[in-house]
Amino acid sequence: MDTATPAPAPRAGRSRNPLGRLLRRAEVVGVEQLAARTRRVTLAGEALAGLAWTPGQHVSVVLADPSAPGTWLRDPRDLKRTYSVWDYQPDGRLDLAVYDHGGDAPGARWARAAAAGRGVLVKGPEGHLVAQPDAPYHVFAGDDTAAVAFGAILRSLPATAPVFGAIEHDRPDDALPLARRDELTLVYRQGAPAADSPRLPATLAALTLPAEPGVAYVAGEARAIQAIRRHLVDDRGWPRRAVVTHPFWTPGRRGMD
């Protein structure tokens, strides 16, 4: 008599997801321009229903079909990219907002080629760049790549929560339709390099903030993030734990291009 323990029954809603918990199959169902260089790419699928998403978190997108010959011979850093979630509906619709910096990196090519009907593999959501609801006030500092996460966080905050901050874009038509955008300072590069830009740290340093620390969400290019964190900690005396950072990109580092 076979006395082996029977395998557990599959959980509801998971039986059609052969990739398990790590990767979920979805499909691009819509693409539209959200700003001059940012495309909203809407994904949908049964496997995306009921995700535990917190505004500000991101997902990872697999850029190549893992079953295709030779895929796993490629540099692993070219196989996936992370994108902040612009919005999410529990029925299984997930909006990414992807900034096109004009380069030829794998993520940029994927976003330009995204079209309705294209299959995609998604991992997440995950990430610590999320709203801190108990903060006395909220400070946002980041570039074009950070604006997506900031948009989701801003929509989640109570209308009475004080908001300050600065967001850097290249041109005015790059600015996203953020909630409470009139409470933020928008900075424009006008063609100047985005990497290690001095404009964002300088703008933040000029802001008048309450005397006591709040919470700061600082994201975008790695060196600009370091400069802003130094200012808040060294010049304004904020505790490090009050500055939540997420480097989205930096030039010359594969996988963060």
Half-sphere exposure of 52 (CA within 13 A, CB side): 3
Question: Degrees (nearest 5) of the Cα angle 54, 147, 243?
Answer: 70
Can you give the pLDDT of all 257 residues of the chain as single tens digits?
333 333 343 344 443 433 445 889 999 999 999 999 999 999 999 999 999 999 999 999 988 665 555 555 455 566 788 899 999 999 999 999 998 877 777 777 888 888 999 999 999 999 999 999 889 999 999 999 999 999 999 999 999 999 999 999 999 999 999 999 999 999 999 988 888 889 999 999 999 999 999 999 999 999 999 999 999 999 999 999 999 999 988 765 554 44
pLDDT score of 249: 80
Q: What is the DSSP string of 199-210?
A: HHHHHHHHS---
pLDDT score of 21: 54
pLDDT score of 105: 74
pLDDT score of 61: 92
- Amino acid occupying residue 93: R
3-state secondary structure of 150: helix
Do residues 120 and 61 touch, judged by C-beta distance below 8 A?
Answer: yes
pLDDT score of 4: 39
Percentage helix, strand, coil for the chain under 3-state DSSP, each rounded to 5: 25, 30, 45
Q: How far apart are CA 145 and CA 226, in angstroms?
A: 16
Strand 185-188, strand 119-126: pairing: unpaired
Question: Degrees (nearest 5) of the Cα angle 108, 113, 119?
Answer: 110
- Using CA atoms, how far residue 121 sits from 54, 63, 64, in Å, is 20, 8, 9
**Among candidate residues 3, 48, 53, 43, the one with its CA nearest the CA of residue 23:** 48
pLDDT score of 121: 92
